[in-house]
Structure 1
Amino acid sequence: RMAPQPSEPAERVGRLRKSIETLAPYAPGTVFVTNTGAPLEGNMHRVMDETIRYLRDLCPLAADLGVSLSLEPLNPTSVNIESAIWTIDQAMDIIDGVGHPAMGLCLDYWNIWQQDDVCSAIYRAGDKINVLQVSDWRTPFSTTDRLIPGDGLIPLHDLLHATWEAGFRGACTVEIFSSDVPDSLYDGDLNDLIAASREGLEQAWQKG
């Protein structure tokens, strides 16, 4: 949905390869986030197998250029539209199948927080977590409807501490989308939005 063309997987992977080759020299240590894409005719098994194969081919390039890759499971609302996977465990099956140190997990709380026993899944992912994205959840008004951390239903305190205990020490990135909703966060002062997000994260971390 976000990038429907080109439709052929090999062409899409070619564009990702080109992006890595072009951008990596200017951003050493960067993590390039990707997902599986939507399965043709619901064939999730095929997409997962192909994703392993393509990422296995891309990892040596990333490593040679001093960057890495990260696979992001998406929320169930995106299954068969953007993604073939929606849980941490499914993502880890692919990451383990790739079997390369340049391959990690993108942990986006908005996408995975409803997974059963999510904190245990985070522990299992361990040092494979290489990207952390945080926002908050309400029943969406659109496909791009996220809240400031602390303003929604996600148990951020538990998830943040589980991620820390799993060994993640990278950046905690606020990722907010707020389009096609009656009260878009984009309509306010963005400096205030950033400050409120920082405060929300700090309170979520401390709140026991």
Structure 2
Amino acid sequence: MSSFPFQYGVNEFTTQPWSFEEDVARYAALNVDAIEICEAKLDPQRTEQQLRAAKQAGLAISAVQPKIRTFFSSKMAPEPEGIEARVSAFAQSMRTLSPHVEGAPFVMNTGAPPEGNMQRCLDETVHHLRRLAPLAADLGVTIAIEPLNPTSINIETAIWTIDQALDLLDAVGHEACGLCLDYWNIWQQPDCAQAIRRAGRRLMVVQASDWRTPYSGMDRLIPGSGSIPLGELLHATAEAGFRGACTLEIFSSGVPDSLYDQDLSEVVHQGRLGLERAWNDYRSAEHSV
């Protein structure tokens, strides 16, 4: 029996071709423990009903991906233009969804630095997080900033390492803000496992997939089928004190072997097996030394 210490969650981006209702029904049938909500899949007229259905299906809500999750523009969500409009959109997502996702982190990143000005991007991100963190606390939710892979620099992000994210969190200085850790994004940074341990209790969201040299930014693999040392990173995450959901987050479109064109139920099933195998194999290797 696996001793995997985390709940198994699935981010709705992983099953992009399915509707929200299909996600809920099929995740529950596959014994998924938690769902990471993508606001873009919700019907604004039925949001409360949809989120209630997820809970009734036995799915914990591990995190939320708001429609607008960057303060500066991004390739994934270029509209609305203007920082204030984007900050307001993020705040509105928290206000709308927080009554139905108690305690959940809302995932965000900086967006693309204007004209490559990373310092301005970081300074303004800190400023706006200082504004939003008390609101999140009042609403009973949190905000988790996600460093992205260097492939996204100047497209979606100004930060690409755990340490950069921790520096930003130190500058914000509010307990309602923490870290979203996506192994695909950060696994290549130096001393990655040690950086995860340093994050400690600031870890709020953990996401997993696997890596090959990507054909695009939408090219991720099922855990255990690529290059990421998942076992080492999972153990570092547990040693940091995290005990929430380890969430499968896969983007896979516009490539010849797109997982979106395959049996998504099998993708979800194999995702769990790959994570459990990585955890157990690393533990066995440690004990054999």
- Establish whether TM, by shorter chain, passes 0.5: yes
Distance in 2 separating the partners of 1:181 and 1:111: 19
CA RMSD of aligned residues (A): 0.7
Determine the C-alpha separation between the residues in 2 that align with 1:130 and 1:81: 24
Are 2:240 and 1:171 equivalent residues in the alignment? no
Residue in structure 2 matching 1:159, options 220, 233, 237: 233
Percent of matched pairs sharing the same residue: 63
Q: How does 1:87-98 map to 2 (within 5 A)?
A: 87-98=161-172
| Residue 117 of structure 1, aligned match among 191, 199, 216 | 191
Residue 203 (structure 2) aligns with: 129
Larger Rg: 2
User: 1:7 deviation in Å?
Assistant: 2.2
Distance (Å, rounded) in 1 between the aligned partners of 2:252 and 2:190 = 26
Q: Aligned partner of 1:163: which letter?
A: T
Which one-letter code corresponds to 1:55 in the other structure?
L
Amino acid paired to 1:22: T
TM-score by length of 2: 0.71
Question: How many pairs align?
Answer: 208
Q: Distance in 2 between matches of 1:54 and 1:107?
A: 21
For structure 1, which runs of at least 5 residues remain unmatched after alignment?
none
Q: Distance in 2 between matches of 1:177 and 1:25?
A: 29
Distance 2:170 2:242 in 1: 18
Report Cα offsets for 1:112-161 as digits up to 9, x if no partner: 00001111111111110100000000011111000000000000000000
**195, 199, 205: which one aligns with 2:279:** 205
Query: Aligned to 1:145, which of 200, 219, 223?
Result: 219
Q: Which has the higher contact order (CA 8 A, sep 6+)?
A: 2
- Secondary structure of the 2:215 match is coil
AA at the equivalent of 2:178: G
- Deviation (angstroms), 1:8: 1.2
**Matches of 2:264 and 2:197, distance apart in 1:** 34
What is the one-letter code of the residue matched to 1:100? H
- Among 93, 101, 106, the alignment partner of 1:19 is 93
- For 2:265 and 2:155, how far apart are their aligned partners in 1? 33
Which amino acid letter does the alignment assign opposite residue 6 of structure 1?
P
Q: TM-score, normalised by structure 1?
A: 0.98
